Amino acid sequence: MLTQTISRAFSQVVLKANKNQARELGEYAIEFMKNGNPSVKVLERCKLFHTDSVFCGLSALALKTNAPTILAQEAKSLAAKTGAASKPKLGFAKVFGSNLWVPATNAIVANSAAVREWDSNGTVFGYDASSPARRAGEFGHNDYYPVVIAAAQQNASIDGKTALKAMVLSDEIRGRLAEVFSLKTYKIDHVVHGAIASICTYGALLGATPAQIESAIGMFVAHYIPFRAIRAGHQLSDSKGASAAISTEAAIKCLQRSMNGFVGPADIFRNPEAIFRLFQKTKGDSPFDITLSLGGDDFAVMGMHFKLGLYEHQSAGALEGLQKLILDTKFVQNYSIDSIDKIKVTAYEPAFGIIGDPAKRDPHTRQSADHSMVYILGTMLRKAFTEKSFHQLLSSTNDLNEIWKALFLSPYDYSHAAVRNKDTRKLMALTEFEHGGKEYDDKYPEGIPTRVQILLKDGKNLDSQFVMFPSGHARNANCDLTGILQNKFKQLGKIAIKDSKSQDQFYQQLNSIDTLSNKDLQTIYNCEINYASKSIDE
């Protein structure tokens, strides 16, 4: 049975290292869906993350990005022969923008790939300030909500309130695993934690037993571990954006097989040859306890961060610093790109090694550009210099929120043409990236410690000073988060959906998911996608 240590303040359960944590994760997921009670604050934050993810996914499909398009077409080619209006048996769901019933694993892989394609939805850094034992700092993203909707489209008892609660559950398991085990340290891709969370959530929603969930987790960990080869190299491929989707597809397939009687490896967290004990040696226990919430405010989703446009989240501190410089000094109105002598960015590991990697200084693909600090920063600064509408705004505002909205980095800022923009390339060549050493490293993953300096040819040195919690970060209490996100949803909605009325109706439906019936969830992702004439990458 589940070993519980309940805190009166936070209603938490601790899965101890000397117990079968895979079995107990299944027990926890089932118990949470029955009796868990996250606060309104938690549910509202999760709702925002879900809405964010859907607009990211739909716009990626509208602009015909490669992997989401291929996976959606693959799913539709397998559509059930029962017709669009007829509900087939267990095991079918729907892809974004379609009313066709397709195999659930195909719907999940297609929708999750679309959600992740822009690399613009939520992020977790695996850090709990209250406990030194829970600061492993693993990355992760809110890519897994399509798992919940796919389950709802198979189980008529799941309404919108239940679905939103299940999304909190998925984020809780994924986020807490990210706090205690750093996959990236061992060159394993961060999506493993999300896949495990997806097994638990999908299983709890569709009636799996704890033993079946344990079996599926064991099967996934034993058979399907992805390595960070996905993200290595000078020019990144479709595998980077589709990693979470492909791993989740495998995870759900493992659960389906377990529910059909297949038995996977038991007690996988204590298995000496599975990744956990293989890389962190113990005398027999799992390397960590897992602390999970059952109620209140203290859920992992509350520590997750929003991206306010399309950019790799490690660059958020630099973007905040740049925009503060622009707002405070208005230098883009009085100088030109040619007035700049040098741009210097000081940051921490792993930002310095990932998006500051010299291999990313000359991106040729969108996937490489959105992981290049010099490209992301250069693009935003180029827009500030060259867009007349921005200069008009800058003359009339002292509000950083308005700067974030006006300099929103959209999919078009990573198009084939944008990646080759001469002004952006000029700014990239002027940019130096410096590792801040221990002073900066020690403050990550609590924050995103960054400093931006722009040295002008006339001798002036514009200095953002130290940025720790940029807008969108869970610890930032100053920005108008809802307002900036609504701008993001509006910008992506214009790309994704054909007319403004439909865009507004779609947003309202997502924003009220907790009031929807199961019938509503059957069509929650159905809309008329405004497909471009060609791919944004052409």
Task: Determine the average pLDDT of the residues in 278-304.
Answer: 97
Residue 3 — pLDDT band, cuts 50, 70, 90?
very low
Strand arrangement, sheet containing 431-435: 431-435, 340-347, 451-456, 461-463
Specify the pLDDT at position 359.
78
Predicted confidence (pLDDT) at residue 7 exceeds the cutoff of 80: no
3-state SS, residue 466 = coil
Distance separating alpha carbons of residues 330 and 460, to the nearest angstrom: 13
For residues 224-253, give the mean pLDDT: 91
pLDDT of residue 488: 98
In this predicted structure, the answer to whether residue 446 has a pLDDT above a threshold of 50 is yes
What is the average per-residue pLDDT within 468-476? 97
Lowest-confidence segment of 25-39, 349-363, 487-501 by average pLDDT: 349-363
The tokens describing 414, both together, are 């990573």
Which pLDDT band holds residue 87 (cuts at 50, 70, 90)?
low
pLDDT cut 70: percent of the chain above it? 96
Report which DSSP code applies to 330: -
CA max distance for the chain: 73
Q: What is the mean pLDDT of residues 295-303?
A: 96
Asked whether the predicted pLDDT for residue 467 surpasses 50, the reply is: yes
Task: Give percent of the chain above pLDDT 90.
Answer: 88
Residue 9: is its pLDDT beyond 50?
Answer: no
pLDDT band at 82 (very low <50, low <70, confident <90, very high): low
Segments in 99-142 forming alpha helices (H): 104-117
Residue 227 DSSP code: B
Query: Is 70 exceeded by the pLDDT of residue 496?
Result: yes
The string of pLDDT tens digits covering residues 348-399 is 998 888 888 887 899 998 888 998 999 999 999 999 999 999 999 999 999 9
**Closest CA relative to residue 310, chosen from 229, 412, 402:** 412
Residue 269 host element (H or E):
none
DSSP-based three-state secondary structure for 491: helix
The distance of Cα 452 from the centroid of its chain, to the nearest Å, equals 25
Give yes or no for residue 81 having a pLDDT over 70.
no
Mean pLDDT value across the chain: 94
Backbone angles phi, psi at 463, to 5 degrees: -130, 120
Token couple for 396: 């009339």
Q: What is the pLDDT of residue 8?
A: 40
pLDDT of 5 over the 70 cut = no
Count CB atoms within 10 A of the CB of residue 235.
13
CA distance 405 to 402: 5
